[in-house]
Chain A
Amino acid sequence: MKFIKNHLMFILPLMAILLGIEFYLVFDRTTDSYEKGLKEGYTMLVVTKKPVTLRKLKSLNEHIAGIETIKREQIVSEVAQGVSKQSQKEILAALPYFYNVGLDSYLETAQIEKIKRDLEKDPLIKRVETFGSSYSSAYRLFSFIKFLLKVFIGFMGIVSLFLIIKQMEIWKYAHKERMQVMEIFGAPLMLRSGVLFKVAIFDAFIATLLVSGIFFYVKFVWAAQSGIDLMMQKQDELFRISDMAILLGAALFLVIVAVYTVVFSSRGVQE
């Protein structure tokens, strides 16, 4: 019972840190294309009296990076169904020119409004539609969620580190005398810290396996039944074998630092 308790005291905080790392990796991966879409997929609609070029629009505002013409014939065929060909020609002649205009980067609402004003100053341009509020709110909500997750992971990491430090004190108390006696008799560092390393590395493997197990379950069982589109579409991204290597690497790094801290703080003979 004591054996299990001693191991759990280290495995649980280590798992919390590994969960944080894996949450971050998974969230980053699954939302990457969504974020990219929000950032790069944004376009504003520009209506002009005469055809314009990208260079022309760029001269009005430097943030304009791309231009895509919306075919007027297609608009006419959609809005003037059942109308005679002659009338369609007249509508086409009267119809202004429509463009989807892309920007060079993600911009704040105020900057988008400035682009709108710059464009509307030109007499060729009839109207600019920015869709600014829906774009901004979606991206901001996303950024906020991402920020909250990072704060949560950071907080979880700090609390877990404190628990690990607490466990290190217990290790120190349990192993100090043995390590000091071995040091007096000339044992090299690796020999006197061997027991502690074995315990800690065992815990690192167990914590990695448990966290990997949780994410395998999420990937193969929970995500498929969740009904969350993003999860179902990105099921493959939820956990990769390479994540196990990252988790094991992080766990081993933490235990090596923890063990060496205990070993070096236990040097010298206890009076």
Chain B
Amino acid sequence: MSNVISAKNLTLAYDNGRKEIIKNASFNIRKGDFVFITGPSGSGKSTLLKALYGQLKPKEGNLVVGGVDLANVSSRKLQELRTHMGIIFQDYKLINEWTVAKNVVLPLMIAGYSIDVQNAQAHRLLKHVKLAEHADKFPLELSGGEQQRVGVARALAKNPVVILADEPTGNLDDYSSNVIWDLMENACQQLETTVLVVTHKIPTIFSLPYRHFIIESKGVYEVH
């Protein structure tokens, strides 16, 4: 199966390259893989995710996502690549002045879909994450778990090639966490979406086969 993400001798750093977080990492992630990335706090999990959605340019090496080399990418190409990604954040990053439905269809809005398509998709997605009755509410009127479900629905809106999730259940109770894992498992299984999750702890109830990478001492290692 083809690689959706490919890193070769990847070095990521902050402070204009002075502070190296990840050094000489090489790994491949294939289409339909469900990947957990774990590691101690400050090890560089979120930094790797940032690099994957093009927010941090590699200092050295190659990082190719969806066929786009992120070490040498134009802003237009990066913009285009991001429309094929679904990103989920620990702090949800919903737009609080927009309704839940409008938040969910943001990727469709960006892609220029008609209002009718957006409305139909918003209804379908919110039903899928069991929030149909909250479509016209604003994010701050929802609980943390519900907000994260909106975040997941937004990430799934355009059937992305890859979903990147940064501690998606970090702020949630067990019940809400399980709902989020279910939704992501379904996306991976049914849509063959590649899912890459940065987390402190792999959930105990997880039915899908997955790959596990650990970031430690600036290296990225796969656990077999």
Q: Using a CB–CB distance below 8 Å, which chain A residues touch chain B? A: 177-178, 180-182, 184-188, 191, 268-269
Distance of A52 from chain B, by nearest CB (Å) = 77
Asked if B200 lies at the interface with its beta carbon under 8 angstroms from chain A, I say no
The number of residues on chain B lying at the interface, defined by a beta carbon within 8 Å of a beta carbon of chain A, is 22
CA distance A185 to B160 in the complex (A): 11
Q: In chain B, residues 68-123, which have Cβ atoms closer than 8 Å to a Cβ of chain A?
A: 78-83, 85, 87, 93-98, 106-107, 109-110
Among candidates A178, A180, A185, A268, residue contacting B110 with C-beta atoms closer than 8 Å: A185
A186 with B83: CB separation less than 8 A: yes
- A185: chain B residues within 8 A (beta carbon): 82-83, 85, 87, 106-107, 110, 154
B93 with A177: CB separation less than 8 A: yes
Distance of A46 from chain B, by nearest CB (Å) = 74
Distance of A260 from chain B, by nearest CB (Å) = 15
CA distance A182 to B81 in the complex (A): 13
Distance of A217 from chain B, by nearest CB (Å) = 38
Asked if B53 lies at the interface with its beta carbon under 8 angstroms from chain A, I say yes
Interface centre among A185, A186, A187, by most chain B C-beta atoms within 10 angstroms, is A185
Asked if B55 lies at the interface with its beta carbon under 8 angstroms from chain A, I say yes
Asked if B50 lies at the interface with its beta carbon under 8 angstroms from chain A, I say yes
CA distance A38 to B3 in the complex (A): 82
B106 with A182: CB separation less than 8 A: yes
Chain B 26-63 interface 0/1 with A at a Cβ cutoff of 8 Å (1 = within): 00000000000000000000000010010100000000
A186 with B81: CB separation less than 8 A: yes
Residue of A nearest to B157 (CB): A185
CA distance A156 to B132 in the complex (A): 54
A186 with B93: CB separation less than 8 A: no
Among candidates A178, A186, A188, residue contacting B95 with C-beta atoms closer than 8 Å: A178
Report 8 cross-chain contacts, Cβ distance below 8 Å, ordered by A residue. Answer: A177-B96, A178-B98, A181-B106, A184-B93, A185-B106, A186-B83, A187-B106, A188-B79
Residue of A nearest to B158 (CB): A185
Q: Using a CB–CB distance below 8 Å, which chain B residues touch chain A? A: 50, 53, 55, 78-83, 85, 87, 93-98, 106-107, 109-110, 154
CA distance A268 to B55 in the complex (A): 7
Q: Once A and B bind, how many residue pairs between them come within 8 Å at the CB atom?
A: 46
CA distance A119 to B160 in the complex (A): 92
CA distance A180 to B55 in the complex (A): 11
- A177: chain B residues within 8 A (beta carbon): 93, 95-96
- A178-B95, A268-B55 given; A184·B82 CB < 8 A: yes
- A268: chain B residues within 8 A (beta carbon): 55
- A191-B110, A268-B55, A269-B50 given; A181·B82 CB < 8 A: no
- B95: chain A residues within 8 A (beta carbon): 177-178, 181-182
Interface centre among A178, A184, A186, by most chain B C-beta atoms within 10 angstroms, is A186
Distance of B58 from chain A, by nearest CB (Å) = 16
B87 with A186: CB separation less than 8 A: no
- B79: chain A residues within 8 A (beta carbon): 186-188
- B85: chain A residues within 8 A (beta carbon): 185-186
Distance of B22 from chain A, by nearest CB (Å) = 18
List the 8 shortest-distance A-B pairs measured between CB atoms, nearest first.
A186-B82, A186-B83, A187-B110, A186-B79, A178-B95, A181-B93, A185-B107, A269-B55
CA distance A181 to B152 in the complex (A): 14
B80 with A186: CB separation less than 8 A: yes
B110 with A184: CB separation less than 8 A: no
- A181: chain B residues within 8 A (beta carbon): 93-95, 106
Distance of A197 from chain B, by nearest CB (Å) = 16
A186 with B50: CB separation less than 8 A: no
- B106: chain A residues within 8 A (beta carbon): 181-182, 185, 187
Distance of A264 from chain B, by nearest CB (Å) = 12
Residue of A nearest to B75 (CB): A189
Distance of A180 from chain B, by nearest CB (Å) = 8
Residue of A nearest to B53 (CB): A184
CA distance A188 to B53 in the complex (A): 15
- B96: chain A residues within 8 A (beta carbon): 177
Residue of A nearest to B82 (CB): A186
- A182: chain B residues within 8 A (beta carbon): 95, 106, 110
- B83: chain A residues within 8 A (beta carbon): 185-186
Residue of A nearest to B106 (CB): A185
Q: Other than the known A177-B93, A186-B83, A268-B55, what 11 A-B pairs have Cβ atoms closer than 8 Å?
A: A178-B97, A182-B110, A184-B53, A184-B93, A185-B85, A185-B87, A185-B107, A185-B154, A186-B80, A186-B110, A187-B79
